[in-house]
Amino acid sequence: MTVDEAIAIAETLLDGEGLNDVQELIFRQCWEGRHSYEEISQLSQYNDEYIKALAAKLWKQLSEAFDEKVKKSNLRSVFKRYLRRHHVTLHRTQVIGVNLSGANLSGARLLLTNLSEADFYQTDLNKSIVTEDNAKSDEKIIKAEDAHNQGILSNLEEQIYHWNDLRFHCEEQVKIAEALDRTNALFFPNSKARLTTPAGRQNQEPDFLIFHQGKWGILEIWHPDTEKDETRDRLFASHGISIIHYCDANRCTEEPDRIVQEFLDILSQG
């Protein structure tokens, strides 16, 4: 997800209120990992105390909009979880073919649609587009269930990122997959496993299941605002996969090759 896409989402959830210039500066800098308000203030004409106060107000507004705590250190993670929860896929080269002539869209709001490269062609819409209330935001959205029959070429999948015909939940996973590929390692990304848990048989999905030098291990991407699933890890260990390594999400972006090599070293020595 780009910072411009994230801002578009934020402004939509903030009832269409656009961010002012200073708010947008704060958002962009924090999104890119510059978390120091002093550093951000140097890019503007305002002092760091004003930047800090304005940022606090922005995080509070976003926290209310997303219904979870938003702060400068977890900004990217919040937006990624939002996309997963709402099953939104950002396709920057999506071709949408739809003729809306005669359709009644009064009161409907089109969300997260990039039509800059869209190609509109004649399509017969005999059925009206159905709208429903969103319980949380009280917004009206176009239902996707009948989209295929109405000629809307839409692909609303849980997975957001695609690489080599594989599907991933976040950019960090793609970085790790690329690094693993460079080592010629055998790996299974986001592969669901069927395990017996205290609550019965359930699916569990590790980020990466990796086979190296005759041994299996799991590599997980860890975000600071998420908790490690120790119960699940013990279940995998009981089935012989005892090497489960968590790597920091920021490091996955900055040095994926080093993380992968460290994990393979751990796996070979385990």
- Domain ranges in the chain? 3-85, 88-156, 163-269
**126 vs 237: which has the higher pLDDT:** 237
Run of H or E residues at 208: strand 208-212
Is the pLDDT confidence value at 266 over 70? yes
pLDDT at 104: 55
Q: d(Cα 258, Cα 111) in Å, to the nearest integer?
A: 39
Tokens of 191: 């592969």
Amino acid at site 250: N
pLDDT at 88: 54
Q: How confident is the model at residue 223 (pLDDT cuts 50, 70, 90)?
A: confident
Handedness of CA 120, 124, 128, 132 (dihedral sign): negative
CB 133 within 8 A of CB 143: no
How far from each other are the two terminal CA atoms of the chain, in whole angstroms?
Answer: 36
CB 112 within 8 A of CB 39: no
Q: How confident is the model at residue 130 (pLDDT cuts 50, 70, 90)?
A: very low
Domain spanning 163-269, CATH architecture? 3-Layer(aba) Sandwich (3.40)
